[in-house]
Amino acid sequence: MYDPLRTHYVLSCPARGETAVTLSAFRRLERLPGAAHPAVFAITFACPCGDEHPGLVAHDDLDWAPLGLEAGSFVDLMTDRRCDAGAELGETAAGRIRAGEWPWSFYCYAEDRPRPVFPSSFMLIAPGSSGGLVGLAVCCPTCASRSINLVSQAHIDLPFHNDAQVGVVEHVFKADAERAVEEFRLELYSAAFDTRRLAL
């Protein structure tokens, strides 16, 4: 499904039979109810044939495969031996994560801060009309609010490539605002609020 050395997904196309697309060619991602290990996502992707097609992608193919953990083997031309590319790419990814880098990030408008994220949190991806920017709607894994970022294609397609600047659409979605009001109302009438008020 995912080719980590070419950084693209191999998906079914009614016109070509099979096609290869990058993650930034996905248009809609929605987790399907049911299976959790692995979870399955219904996607729509922009195909090189000119149409958009539906597809299914497993959670592992979205979040872990781009890190190259299942990259297979390669021939080391210096030693003429086969080596495991997945092990080397996995060690590199783990080292970068331990150093504080994250494969993907976005800016959460509700929390006013950058957050680490995996592609399974992406909801919509829309190509921009100029500058090569892509609109990315993300559901924050921390606060569950939605944010829209303007990023480069490389920011989406290449793990550990984070843009120096990210555009943020300043908008609070109605469902997020209603949830925040409900959470505040519940806290206001809870015993924890009274305890905090007495501690002031």
pLDDT value at residue 52: 95
Indicate whether 46 and 85 sit together in one domain: no
Indicate whether 6 and 48 sit together in one domain: yes
Indicate whether 6 and 60 sit together in one domain: yes
Query: Range of 45's domain?
Result: 2-64
Indicate whether 36 and 50 sit together in one domain: yes
Indicate whether 72 and 42 sit together in one domain: no
Q: Which of 17, 44, 64 is the last residue of a domain?
A: 64
Q: Is residue 97 part of a domain?
A: yes
Number of Cβ within a 10 Å radius of residue 125? 25
Token pair belonging to 50: 């000119």
Give this prediction's pTM. 0.77
Spatial separation of the C-alpha atoms in residues 22 and 152, rounded to whole Å: 13
Q: Is residue 118 part of a domain?
A: no
Burial of 189: CB neighbours in 10 Å, binned 0-12, 13-18, 19+: exposed
Spatial separation of the C-alpha atoms in residues 110 and 169, rounded to whole Å: 11
Q: Is residue 58 part of a domain?
A: yes
Q: DSSP character for 190?
A: S
Q: How many domains does the chain have?
A: 3
Indicate whether 27 and 59 sit together in one domain: yes
pLDDT value at residue 3: 83
User: C-alpha angle 6/12/15, rounded to 5°?
Assistant: 110
Helix (H) or strand (E) holding 147: strand 146-152
Token pair belonging to 96: 């970068």
pLDDT of the chain along its 200 residues, tens only?
888 778 899 999 998 889 999 999 999 999 999 877 789 999 999 999 999 999 999 999 999 888 888 777 778 788 888 888 788 888 888 899 899 888 999 999 888 899 999 999 999 999 877 778 899 999 999 888 889 899 999 999 989 988 888 888 876 656 665 666 566 566 666 666 555 555 55
Q: DSSP character for 25?
A: G
pLDDT value at residue 80: 85
Q: Is residue 192 part of a domain?
A: yes
Q: Which of 81, 101, 121 is the last residue of a domain?
A: 101
Q: Which residues are paired to 106 by β-bridges?
A: 115
Token pair belonging to 36: 């959790």
pLDDT value at residue 191: 64
Q: Is residue 130 part of a domain?
A: no
In 7-132 the beta strands, taken as DSSP E runs, fall at: 8-13, 17-21, 26-36, 39-46, 52-58, 73-76, 81-84, 104-108, 113-117, 122-127
Indicate whether 59 and 79 sit together in one domain: no
Spatial separation of the C-alpha atoms in residues 54 and 32, rounded to whole Å: 13
pLDDT value at residue 180: 60
pLDDT value at residue 192: 63
pLDDT value at residue 121: 94
pLDDT value at residue 100: 87
pLDDT value at residue 199: 52
